[in-house]
Structures are given as structure tokens and as C-alpha cells.
Chains A and B, each alone.
Chain A
């Protein structure tokens, strides 16, 4: 059995978006990760939505969230048949150094399973989806 996490195929996945989440996906299509921050009080909000939960402002600015680190993760067996051979899928919840209070959950791909750990630094990569690109994580290597 392969000891690296699988890289899912998202090419048929249609991403639903609205006015408040569209900038995230537009930047992602260019390979950039940005997260929404209140334009008035600077509080991050996630998922993207119409109001700041701290001051109820609708003003928003999109900024790079800084270095990502694994906050938690799980390892899911992927059965034979869905892939050529069975493997493991690793959903990871990631916090960012410059975006306090919010976390992004996605797949950690192509990671040696024995190197996946809480606090491990990760980078964001973008993989093609039906109508845009989707963010996944890879372990950063020094």
C-alpha cells in the first residue's frame, strides 16, 4: 500500500460560489490564496460571508493569510476501486500565521503518512476543478 496520501481528482467538481466567496476562487484560479478580513475592524471571517461577526460591517478586504500549519487532521482509507489501488486520503485543518481566528480545511496531498503531524508547515497548491481551481495542501520542506 502506498505510504503517501492520494491526490484527489477534482476536475469534475463544480464549485458553488456567491458574491462573497467569488474573490477567493478568482484569486485561486491565478494560484493565489487570499482570505477575507473586515475592512473596518480587521477581524478575519471564514467562510466568506456578508458580515463581520465582530462589528457587523460589510466592508471586506482580501489578504494573504501567511504561513499555514496543520491544526488537526485525519487519515481516511480509500477503498480499492475508487482508485487504481487502495490508498489514504488526508483531510487537514490548517491555521495561518497572519489570519488569527480562521482555519481552512482541505486535502493534504502527496504527503508521506508518517510525516503528517500537528503544527507541520504546509503550502497551498491549486488543482483544476470544473469551473475554477481548488486549494489543497502540501507539506513544506525546508
Chain B
């Protein structure tokens, strides 16, 4: 039987509204999250022999210099941006299963200067022969490009803005009692519908927060996890799948109608469930990458929680609330808690499976964690207690 990997420690900095974590550097944030994660696990710095990253990663060597980590036998980066987030747990599991490393830190962080924003990320495309058309069109951020997909989904399936509003309202309701959440004020549908349009049909409230912070997850073997202080959370399955038609996410725009009206996660969902031998019915709580609310509706379809095209009515039925058929983002998600490129979702998954979540899903045994649509690979993981 293969060695199984488990998350045994979680470390996080406070979540700061974008650009407000200075004068700490991003490496200082990461270092602090590492120390907190190791303390949570009850492990010392000398135990560390692996690191995994995504979205370009960070300098493992600099982190080792700072913290006095002797060295690593495993240091790898998943390609993609937020799409690769859950893939860092796939890499960590690979390291543990193959014996390449014994204690792996899965690291994700984000920090913005005050004058420059992730939301304008597509501007860098202006210098490429493929990307210049986004510039000419005026698509300067991912939410603006996603608006094209969203409108087509509404046109094809009759999805209503109220569905996106319900995603935002559910997230805000969940965040209300969560200390770490940056947006906690309750919201009504009237307020949602009156929010100014930023990229019609997306209004301001459909866009997630941008947050500074760092999170680190300590992964080791299940065997070793049994002797540590926290209830282990096992990496039951993790998958990384890139498909050509969504390989550049919002940048290609030539997908078939069937693929265009999705979040592009169908192939990774199929692979993940197949690898785990599970179905959507086995998932007790879903941590869905929600940088824009329509992507929750579309991912619920991609991950099989409802039929294709029925994400809108499914959400509007109350299905994603804490007492619904599939509770989604009981921590408030990127829309209301904070956005550290998906990492906060994994923290919530671990808290749910330890049974210590603020909005606990009773008896939760399995959590789905998804990466967001961005350049390939798309990644997702199922965690289990």
C-alpha cells in the first residue's frame, strides 16, 4: 500500500487589505506563516526537507537562509496561477509517497504594493502578438474577460444575476461571524442588484477582495502524522489537468460553445473523482475558488454538484448555504473573507476536517478544494479526515 500524505500543520499571517502589510516583505510574511505552521504541527525547523509552490513560486533558498533550514530534497513549482493552487498538495503527496521528502511545506502568498494591482494583470499581454487583441478590446483584467463567458452562460441557460447575487450573499452570511474575514457586513439582494456594474453583467460585488498574506501547510506521511499533535487531514486525491481549450484560460476565447460556458474545470473534476474513486455525493463541503461569483455557479456544474446549465437555479435554491445540499465556502471565501490565491480555502478545509471550523459542517469527512480558471494546469484536491 502506498504511503499516504497528510496535512498536519497550518500557519497563516493575518489577512491584510491589499497593500497594507508593509513594511513586512512577502518573504517575512512567508517566514512567519512557516513558523506558525510548524508550531501548529509541533515540528521544528530542522524537520523541513521539502517545499512546493505555485503561480511562479518563491525563492526556496532565501527562505532557507532566513529560517536556518539546512536544505531540501524536494522543491517544485506547479505552473499556472491560481489554477495551480491545489496542485501544491499533489506535489507534496508525490514527495511523501515516493520518499523524496518527509516534511513538505506547501506555500502560497500574496502582497501588493499600493500603486499596482493584480486586477490589472492582463495589461502585461499588450506586448505579445496574441495578447494585443485584449488590449485593443479593452479587457484589462480577468473579471472583464470572464464577463464574456458569464454573459454567454446567461444567454444559453437563462442564468440570472440573482444567482451570482446569492453566491455573494451566501459568502457574506458565512463571513459575518468569522474574525479573519475582511467583509462581514450582511448584504441584501436589493443592495447587490444596486451595486455598480464594473464589467456588465458583473457588478462590483461579484469581484473578490485582494488581500496580502501568506499561508503554509505542513505535509508529512500518515504514519508520522499519527504521532503529531493535530488530527491529520489526509490528501485523499489531488489532480492537475491542463486541456488545450482552456490552456490559456480567458485568453484564447475560441472554445467550443460547450467549453466556453464553463469554468474549464470539467476535465480536472473527472480526473480527480476517478483517481479518488469518489463522486460529488461523497463531498461534504466544497471550497470553490471564488475570485468572481459566476465562477462558483460554473464550477458547481463542472464538479458535478448539479447538471450542466443548472448552476443558477441550483444556487438560487439555497443549495450552497451551510445547511444546503453542498455547503460552499463556509469561511466567506475570496468574496468576503480574503483572497490569497486560494490558500485560505485550504485552511478552511483543514479546519472543517479537524472539526474546528467557525461555521462547522456537521460530521464533515471530505472537502473539495479547487483552483481557479487560469493558465494550465487546472488543479483540485479532495481532503479527508
A-to-B contact residues, CB < 8 Å: 8, 10, 13, 15-18, 20-21, 46-49, 53, 71-77, 89-93, 101-107, 118, 134-136
Residue of A nearest to B200 (CB): A75
In the complex, per-residue mask of B182-215: 1 if CB is within 8 Å of any chain A CB, else 0: 0000000000000011111110000000000000
B227 proximal to A (CB < 8 A): no
- Pick the residue among A16, A21, A106 that contacts B137 (CB under 8 A): A106
The B137-151 residues at the A interface (CB cut-off 8 A) are 137-139, 144, 147-149, 151
Q: Which B110-158 residues have C-beta < 8 A from chain A?
A: 127-130, 132-139, 144, 147-149, 151-152, 155
A46-B254, A76-B199, A103-B253 known; A13 vs B135 contact (CB < 8 Å): yes
| Chain A residues positioned under 8 Å from B253 (CB to CB) | 93, 103, 105
- Between-chain CB contacts (< 8 Å), 26 pairs: A13-B136, A16-B127, A16-B128, A16-B129, A20-B129, A47-B130, A49-B130, A53-B244, A71-B152, A72-B152, A74-B202, A75-B200, A76-B198, A76-B199, A76-B200, A77-B198, A90-B138, A91-B148, A92-B137, A93-B148, A93-B253, A104-B133, A105-B137, A118-B151, A118-B152, A135-B136
Chain A residues whose CB sits within 8 angstroms of the CB of B137 once the complex forms: 91-92, 105-107
Contact with A along B143-186 (1 / 0, CB 8 A): 01001110110010000000000000000000000000000000
Interface residues of B in 214-261 (CB under 8 A from A): 244, 253-254
Residues of chain B contacted by A104 (CB below 8 angstroms): 133
Distance to closest chain A CB from B99 (angstroms): 40
Contacts of B198 in A (CB 8 A): 76-77
A47 touching B129 in the complex, CB below 8 Å, given contacts A74-B200, A77-B196, A91-B138: yes
Structural contact, B151 and A107, CB atoms closer than 8 A: no
Beta-carbon contact of B254 and A101 below 8 Å: yes
Please judge, given known A-B contacts A75-B200, A92-B137, A101-B254, whether A15 and B152 are in contact too, CB under 8 Å.
Answer: no
In the bound assembly, the distance between CA atoms of A74 and B198 in angstroms comes to 9
Taking a contact as CB atoms under 8 Å apart, the answer to whether A89 and B138 are in contact is yes
- Which residues of chain A are near B202, meaning CB under 8 Å? 74
